[in-house]
């Protein structure tokens, strides 16, 4: 059996936002770490305001992290998958 490789790796991810009137910062994502292996089904659960959407937006490249590391393995879509490849 072929070993599965990580397609997403998140290490010590943090995201902070400044509070109004210079009253410090609000920590939206608090030093989370996880990996997702190829073929794995993965979910992020938590209460409102836990940072789930912010975490996904950072992984997708829509927002930048304040600190930590995010790696996403990208490969061309399989020709039989039916997924379009992005135009360059």
State how far the Cα of 22 lies from the Cα of 39, in Å rounded to an integer: 45
DSSP E strands: which ranges in 1-88? 6-18, 25-37, 67-72
Contact assessment for residue 42 and residue 28, using Cβ atoms and an 8 Å cutoff: no
Q: What is the reported pLDDT for 82?
A: 53
**Per-run averaged pLDDT (10 residues), the chain, 88 residues:** 80 96 94 95 94 96 95 71 53
Q: What is the reported pLDDT for 4?
A: 73
Strand partners, 25: 18
DSSP3 helix / strand / coil % (the chain, rounded to 5): 10, 35, 50
Contact assessment for residue 70 and residue 15, using Cβ atoms and an 8 Å cutoff: no
């Amino acid at each position: 059996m072929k070993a599965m490789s990580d397609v997403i790796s998140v290490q010590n991810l943090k995201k902070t936002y400044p509070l109004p009137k210079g009253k410090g910062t609000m920590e939206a994502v608090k030093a989370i770490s996880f990996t997702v292996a190829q073929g794995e089904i993965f979910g992020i659960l938590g209460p409102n305001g836990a940072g789930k959407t912010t975490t996904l937006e950072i992984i997708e490249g829509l927002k930048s992290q304040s600190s930590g590391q995010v790696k996403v393995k990208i490969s061309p879509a399989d020709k039989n998958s039916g997924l379009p490849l992005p135009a360059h």
